[in-house]
């Protein structure tokens, strides 16, 4: 009898980790039944197996057994002088295994999105900031400031689930004011306007610090921006709970990302003297929050560390694995890819092992490719949501008969 499954699962493909995704799995294909958001449906269903899927391990682009691919990987590890492990998206169990491997083989360890994470980390370590959870924003925030340009692409259901949810414990949808500060697409603005009072503050991203500074200065009400500033000032004065939402990666290309994040977090800290205000940073969608949690438990450092004879050393510059690969400062790169559909750019001048889901694509064939299952589709697992306070259980439903990322890594130790 053919297996047909219909069930509600948790989606692992962005840091919201929605747990209300209803899927049907039939004839080895799955489809999403209940989401209106086309981006989410496309993202999820892109992981269906097709005629381009890589279902068998390969050594030098030739089909091999799992056993041979793992043995050959161990040989490459043994022969290498300097190794980099790059996490491109994995669940808690796989990160745990990867850090154990890192410790055993004295490798450098990094996450592909770590460059975006340091601006927030700097503030946590040096200035201090107030953060909140997705549920607090959903239930309590009455004034929401969204900064950036791309945050709704990174978390496609942010509007539906958090900003304009069907039910909220304390804040009515029509009483909530949202200020979009930056360069948002008309599509995002229109989506929000369907349900909420939206004020679009169209400024360049690098003007955010100046804009926030000007809120407290005397306002000349003649030009458009001054009028918006006056509206914002009044909304803040009347508000009981202000939230600032942003994703640091939106600011990265300005070259002043740290200043922008600092201006937002400082603005929120200052508001806290009279009202409740907090930040909700949106993490990257490659298991960034899970990576940083597990790495901090196990090593004391969230990213960019190196195993050195049983201990871990941290250096933001020295253990930047993306740069080590680009500059050929390592002779073996191990790429872990159980969540991303983005093509992996390999440096052909060094050896490359790619352990990834069957839809993984690379710029050139790696020395070794080992296909693995996807957490939340092929394996149970746990991942952390963007607010870092909830770890969501993932449930498998597909029967690919493929090992999991953590199982393959464990065999390389
Ligand atoms: S918003 Fe994110 S977690 Fe939710 S269904 Fe879409 S991609 Fe998945």
- Domain endpoint, select from 281, 301, 329: 281
Domain hosting residue 197, numbered range: 118-281
Domain boundary among 281, 299, 333: 281
Distance CA 348, CA 325 (A): 10
Distance, CA 158 to ligand 1 centroid (Å)?
Answer: 9
Looking at the structure, tell me whether residues 234 and 96 fall in a common domain.
Answer: no
Residue 46: helix, strand or coil by DSSP? coil
User: What is the CATH number for 82?
Assistant: 3.40.50.740
Report which of 323, 350, 324, 354 is spatially closest to residue 338, judged by C-alpha positions.
354
CATH code, domain carrying 267: 3.40.228.10
Angle between helices 405-412 and 66-79 (to 10 degrees): 50
Q: How many domains does the chain have?
A: 3
Which atom of ligand 1 approaches the CA of 21 most closely?
5
Nearest CA to ligand 1 atom 2: 14
Residue 14 Cβ inside 6 Å of ligand 1? The answer reads yes
> Are residues 55 and 77 both part of a single domain?
yes
Same domain, 22 and 60: no
Q: What is the pLDDT along the chain (413 residues), one digit of tens a residue?
A: 557 999 999 999 999 999 999 999 999 999 999 999 999 999 999 999 999 999 999 999 999 999 999 999 999 999 999 999 999 999 999 999 999 999 999 999 999 999 998 887 787 777 778 899 999 999 999 999 999 999 999 999 999 999 999 888 877 777 899 999 999 999 999 989 988 999 999 999 999 999 999 987 766 667 788 888 999 999 999 999 999 999 999 999 999 999 999 999 999 999 988 899 999 999 999 999 999 999 999 999 999 999 999 999 999 999 999 999 999 999 999 999 999 999 999 999 999 999 999 999 999 999 999 999 999 999 999 999 999 999 999 999 998 889 999 999 999 99
Whether ligand 1 lies within 6 angstroms of the CB of 374 is answered as: no
Which residues pair with residue 280 across a beta bridge? 245
What contacts 94, CB < 8 A, 6 or more positions away? 336, 338, 375, 381, 404, 405, 406, 409
What pLDDT sits at residue 2? 59
Cα(47) to centroid(ligand 1), Å: 14
According to DSSP, the residues that pair with 312 across neighbouring strands are: 307
User: Are 189 and 255 contained in the same domain?
Assistant: yes
Same structural domain, 315 and 274: no
Q: Is 16 in the pocket of ligand 1 (CB under 6 A)?
A: yes
The ligand 1 atom at the shortest distance from the C-alpha of residue 40 is: 6
Among 28, 34, 29, 45, which Cα is nearest to 8's?
A: 34
Residue nearest to atom 3 of ligand 1 (CA): 17
Q: How far does the centroid of ligand 1 lie from the alpha carbon of residue 62, in Å?
A: 36
Q: Does 13 sit in the ligand 1 pocket, CB within 6 Å?
A: yes
Distance 89 CA to ligand 1 centre (A): 15
Quote the ligand 1 centre to 3 CA distance (angstroms). Answer: 26
Residue with tokens 């509007």: 159
């Amino acid at each position: 009898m053919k297996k047909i499954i219909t069930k509600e699962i948790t989606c692992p493909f962005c840091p919201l980790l929605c747990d209300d995704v209803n899927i049907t799995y039939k004839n080895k294909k799955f489809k999403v039944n209940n989401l209106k958001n086309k981006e989410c449906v496309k993202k999820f269903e892109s992981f269906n197996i097709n005629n381009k899927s890589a279902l068998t391990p390969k050594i030098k682009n030739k089909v091999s057994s799992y056993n041979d691919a793992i043995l050959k990987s161990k040989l490459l590890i043994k022969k290498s002088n300097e190794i980099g492990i790059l996490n491109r998206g994995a669940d808690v169990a796989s990160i745990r295994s990867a850090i154990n491997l890192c410790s055993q083989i004295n490798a450098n360890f990094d996450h592909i999105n770590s460059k975006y994470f340091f601006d927030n980390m700097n503030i946590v370590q040096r200035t201090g900031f107030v953060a909140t959870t997705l549920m607090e924003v959903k239930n309590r925030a009455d004034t929401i400031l969204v900064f950036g340009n791309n945050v709704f692409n990174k978390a496609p259901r942010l509007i539906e689930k958090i900003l304009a949810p069907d039910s909220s414990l304390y804040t009515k949808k029509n009483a909530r004011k949202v200020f979009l500060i930056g360069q948002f697409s008309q599509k995002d603005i229109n989506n929000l306007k369907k349900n909420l009072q939206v004020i679009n503050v169209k400024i360049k991203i690098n003007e955010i610090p100046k804009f926030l500074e000007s809120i407290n200065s005397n306002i000349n009400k003649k030009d458009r921006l001054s009028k918006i500033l006056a509206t914002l000032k009044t909304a803040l004065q009347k508000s009981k709970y202000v939230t600032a939402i942003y994703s640091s990666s939106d600011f990265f290309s300005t070259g002043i990302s740290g200043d922008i994040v600092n201006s937002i977090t400082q603005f929120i800290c200052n508001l806290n003297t009279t009202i409740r205000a907090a930040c909700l940073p949106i993490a990257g969608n490659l298991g960034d929050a899970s990576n940083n949690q597990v790495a901090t438990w196990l090593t004391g450092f969230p990213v960019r560390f190196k195993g050195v004879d049983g201990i871990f050393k941290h250096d933001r510059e020295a253990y930047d694995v993306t740069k080590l690969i680009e500059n050929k400062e390592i002779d073996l790169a191990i790429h872990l890819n159980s969540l991303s559909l983005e093509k992996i750019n390999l440096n052909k001048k060094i050896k490359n092992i790619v352990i990834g889901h069957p839809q993984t694509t690379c710029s050139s064939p790696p020395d070794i490719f080992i296909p693995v299952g996807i957490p939340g589709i092929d394996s149970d697992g746990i991942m952390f949501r963007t607010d870092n306070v909830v770890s969501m259980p993932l449930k498998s439903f597909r029967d690919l008969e493929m090992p999991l990322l953590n199982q393959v890594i464990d065999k390389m130790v």
